[in-house]
Structure 1
Amino acid sequence: MNIVVFIKQTFDTEAKIVLDASGKIDANGVNLIINPYDEYAIEEGIRLKEKHGGEVTVVSMGGSRAQEAVRTALAMGADKGVLVSDPGLENTDEFGRAQILAKVVADIPHDVILAGRIAIDDGASQIAVRLAEALSIPSVSSVIKLEVAGTQATATREIDGGTELIEVSFPAVFTAQKGLNDPRYPSVAGIMKAKKKPLKSLTLADLGFGAGDLKMVINQYSLPTPRKAGRKIDGEPAQAASELAKLLREEAKVL
């Protein structure tokens, strides 16, 4: 079985986000981690390999620091890594990234493609389903149980108020939800082996993309306006209620 796992390197959930003078996120001194939902995808890919045989290839996009995330996945038990690293990636949106990823995956034998349900930094939850569309293969999102038999899979996915059972044929894309498994920690032996496992680096030019092929660029980020502190209204209940109604009508303009 050929398994491809897409991972993203994100800011630590405890990191304080700061914008630089140009309006971009300043990553200096910020701890970067594998997107937590992608850890479930890595673990599921390794478990499928251990049960059914085959190979796990981890694919990521980002700067040179993203190698750390790929090496961690290799230390967990993945077999090979591919990193798309190019300055042109910095401002691409989900559509562009899915198109880039589709080009990478098209050259890798794949039965199962796994990714996290959502990235904790942008919360977009789009790339995996866009990838499936680009490859013209089925996708199942928010999977909490995955069973494989031959060339078919039965996936249990979370839906509002319950679960849903879906059967698909390979190749197919699955996004991992919390509860799918318990991701393992890289062992010392795994970390040592990861240093010798192949990690291929690609640029956008290697994949046939030019500077004008990306459909959208992000020019600037901005932080939301800080919420104002609450106001306490003193006085007798009737007087306070009257004052509150006046403030809601004249200042907040919600009445």
Structure 2
Amino acid sequence: MDIVVLVKQVPDSGLERNLNAEKRVDRDGSNNVMGELDEYAVEAALQLKEQHDGTVTVLTVGPDQATETIRKVLAMGADQAVHVSDEAVAGSDALATAQILAAALGRANWDLVLAGAESTDSGMGVMTHLLSAHTGAAALTGARKIEIDGSTVTVEHQKDNGYSKLQAQLPAIVSVWDTINTPRYPSLKGIMAAKRKKIEVLSLSDLGVDASAVGAAGASTEVLTVESRPERSAGTIVTDEGEGGRSLAEFLASEKFI
């Protein structure tokens, strides 16, 4: 089984994140990491490889520094990597990114594509369906469990009140939540081996993608204005002088909590 796992380098969600002059997420800092949910997709891919043999290829779209994230996935156990790196990609929205990823997938042999359910920088959660539209492969989202039986993939789709089962024929594209597994840490042996693994770097021209159709100029959406999150203000104190419960209820109702 040949698996492609999608990863994205994003600013660390535990630290302060900023926008640059173009109103886009500032990715030039040193606090960039692999997207949190992507790690669970990587672990799911590695476990499926261990169960069914085959290969795991990591695919990312990003600037040169995204190689750091690629190396981590290779150290975890992925076999090879494809890195789409082109200055014209900057500012691409989800539609353009899906076009680029689909072009890269079109160059590879794959049975299954795995991805995190959403990225921690934009949180849109649409890439699985967009790639399904481009490739014709089935989309199965929000998986907390994945099983492969021959050419059939079955997932438990996580819901607020339980789960539902989704099933499709391979090839398929599956997104996962953090309930699916516990990602492994790269071992020293894996880190050393990662240095020898192949990273194929591709430009838009290599993929046959028109640069004018992606990037900020080709985006279907635009950020018009931004503003900083307001400082946390002092809370409202309800003094209980016999009517504390009523006062609290009135406050909650005024804020539409009840």
Asked if residue 168 in structure 1 is aligned to residue 168 in structure 2, the reply is yes
Shift of 1:21: 4.6
State which structure, 1 or 2, has the greater radius of gyration over its C-alpha atoms. Answer: 1
User: What amino acid is the match of 1:134?
Assistant: H
Report the Cα distance in structure 1 between the residues aligned to 2:154 and 2:238, rounded to whole angstroms.
61
* 2:119 paired residue number: 119
* 1:49 paired residue number: 49
Aligned-CA RMSD value: 2.7
Query: With structure 1 as the length reference, what TM-score do the two structures score?
Result: 0.86
* 2:226 paired residue number: 222
> What is the CA deviation profile of residues 55-103 of structure 1, one whole-angstrom value per residue up to 9, with x for unaligned ones?
0000001011100111100000000100001111111110110111011
Instruction: Report SS of the residue matched to 2:16.
Output: coil
User: What amino acid is the match of 1:31?
Assistant: N
User: What amino acid is the match of 2:152?
Assistant: Q
Change (3 A) 1:91 1:168: same
Change (3 A) 1:152 1:13: same
Length, aligned pairs only: 245
Identity, in percent, stands at 33
1:17·1:25 contact (CA, 8 Å) conserved in 2? yes
Query: With structure 2 as the length reference, what TM-score do the two structures score?
Result: 0.85
Change (3 A) 1:221 1:6: farther
Shift of 1:218: 4.4
Report the Cα distance in structure 2 between the residues aligned to 1:188 and 1:233, rounded to whole angstroms.
54
Report the Cα distance in structure 2 between the residues aligned to 1:233 and 1:50, rounded to whole angstroms.
57
User: What amino acid is the match of 1:60?
Assistant: T
1:91·1:218 contact (CA, 8 Å) conserved in 2? no
Could you tell me which runs of 5 or more consecutive residues in structure 2 were left unpaired when the two chains were aligned.
none
Instruction: Report SS of the residue matched to 2:207.
Output: coil
Could you tell me which runs of 5 or more consecutive residues in structure 1 were left unpaired when the two chains were aligned.
none
Instruction: Report SS of the residue matched to 1:82.
Output: strand
User: What amino acid is the match of 2:145?
Assistant: K
> What is the CA deviation profile of residues 104-152 of structure 1, one whole-angstrom value per residue up to 9, with x for unaligned ones?
0111111011000011111111112201111011111010011111111
* 1:61 paired residue number: 61
> What is the CA deviation profile of residues 170-206 of structure 1, one whole-angstrom value per residue up to 9, with x for unaligned ones?
0000001111111100000000000000000111111
1:75·1:192 contact (CA, 8 Å) conserved in 2? yes
Query: Is the deviation greater in 169-178 or in 206-215?
Result: 206-215
Instruction: Report SS of the residue matched to 1:222.
Output: coil
